[in-house]
Amino acid sequence: MARITLVVNEFDTGSETFLHALARILSNEGHDVTEYSLLGSRQRHHEGPGRAVALPAAKNIGFPLAAAKLAAGSSRATATALSRATARFGRSGRAARAALQAAPLLATQPDVVHISFSGIAITVADALELLDPQTRVIVSCRGTGELVSPVLHPERVEALQSVLNRADCVHAVSVAVEKALVAMGVHQDLIRVIRPAVDIEKFSRTAPYQPISAGEPTQILSVGRLHWIKDVSTTLSALAELIASGYQARLTIVGDGPEREALQYRAFALGLADSVVFTGPLPPERVREELERSHLFVLSSLSEGTSNAALEAMALELPVIVTGVGGMPEVIEDGITGWVVPPSNPAKLAESMIRAVTNSSLAEELGRAGRASLAKGLTLEMQSSAIRSMYRELL
């Protein structure tokens, strides 16, 4: 049995399918799992394996006090972190910040520290240098930090390359992410590609899929954070084209984020006020209900590692339309298990929507094929096996 500390942004967000699966897999292997959150100064209600500790981000005004309280339970860890930080960075503010981040980590006495996003790895890079020499470090690279952030913040590439090359293993969610990592100078032999997966037994329909009917509005669903990277505006524009072509449709958008008000106004400006519903964030069981009552799933992202939302839609036999970005073409074959369209292209997205609406038997066929493809290559058992193998290489 190993002691494993998962470093996350938040340990209690319903959308974190990967983290929940990872914690469950490791716990089932008999490991002692601690989840260490960088957001929020209070420990929240926590369900699932292992303990949970919380610490605000380093820039948060409450960071020093919260870190001190968390480390207080282990004076030895605090003293060790301060000693190592001073030796590494001198008597400086940098040393103090590194020690405050490292002390709670050292207090968990981890055999493995698993960072859930590469952006977090940059944030805690100095703290990682203060770990015991035998502690192994894994960093998960899940899309945005590798495919988007380097474009927007090229100054971060060197820091990302440095922290990843110091890790013992780098987990990539797709070949597209792996290629981006190699291009920025991360050593190929560190990288393990493990794609997201779906529990296809859990995501089995409770009622048969209802085909699209010419006499009723097509129920279209989009699930995701309302952020510019998801480019929901393109979905709205495509919906406007679909309706302008004479077809009835209703779009339900599940999720929240900084773009919500802009998208609500965009829907109004396009004359879609009566055809679009913004539900806000929903618990997993409600998202599943929306999936089961829908005819079609659409994801018009500008970038994706691999979308869990799209995979869950496929598992429930929904025909899916996605943009050919990141890892999506690796898991959806255009015209076979779904439709893949260019990003930022409402016309092409509308064409696929019309294809689904006018050929319900084809849409139904692609929905069945999508689920079958998951059963062959993206099951929870396959993901679990790959994660166990990755850990066994290190321990």
Q: What is the pLDDT of residue 276?
A: 98
- 273 and 126 share one domain: no
- 251 and 336 share one domain: yes
- 228 and 314 share one domain: yes
Q: Please check whether residue 157 lies inside any domain of the structure.
A: yes
- 163 and 180 share one domain: yes
Number of domains in the chain: 2
- 149 and 117 share one domain: yes
Q: What is the pLDDT of residue 80?
A: 92
Q: Please check whether residue 388 lies inside any domain of the structure.
A: yes
- 58 and 76 share one domain: yes
Q: What is the pLDDT of residues 114-142, one digit of tens each?
A: 999 999 999 999 999 999 999 999 999 99
Q: Are 149 and 156 in contact (CB under 8 A)?
A: yes
Q: Please check whether residue 17 lies inside any domain of the structure.
A: yes
116 versus 52: the higher-pLDDT residue is: 116
Q: Please check whether residue 209 lies inside any domain of the structure.
A: no
Return all residues near 300 (Cβ < 8 A) that are at least 6 apart: 222, 230, 231, 232, 234, 235, 238, 322, 323, 343, 349
Q: Please check whether residue 344 lies inside any domain of the structure.
A: yes
- 150 and 228 share one domain: no
- 7 and 64 share one domain: yes
Mean pLDDT taken over the chain: 90
- 325 and 385 share one domain: no
The CATH number of residue 357's host domain is 3.40.50.2000
Q: Please check whether residue 212 lies inside any domain of the structure.
A: no
What is the band of 47 on the pLDDT scale with cuts at 50, 70, 90?
very low
- 131 and 28 share one domain: yes
**Which residues is 317 bridged to in the sheet?**
none
Q: Print the domain residue range for 137.
A: 3-197+380-394
Q: Please check whether residue 365 lies inside any domain of the structure.
A: yes
Q: Please check whether residue 205 lies inside any domain of the structure.
A: no
pLDDT of residue 14 exceeding 50, the answer is no
Q: Are 97 and 128 in contact (CB under 8 A)?
A: no
- 179 and 258 share one domain: no
- 33 and 166 share one domain: yes
pLDDT of residue 182 exceeding 90, the answer is yes
Owner of token pair 């294809």: 355
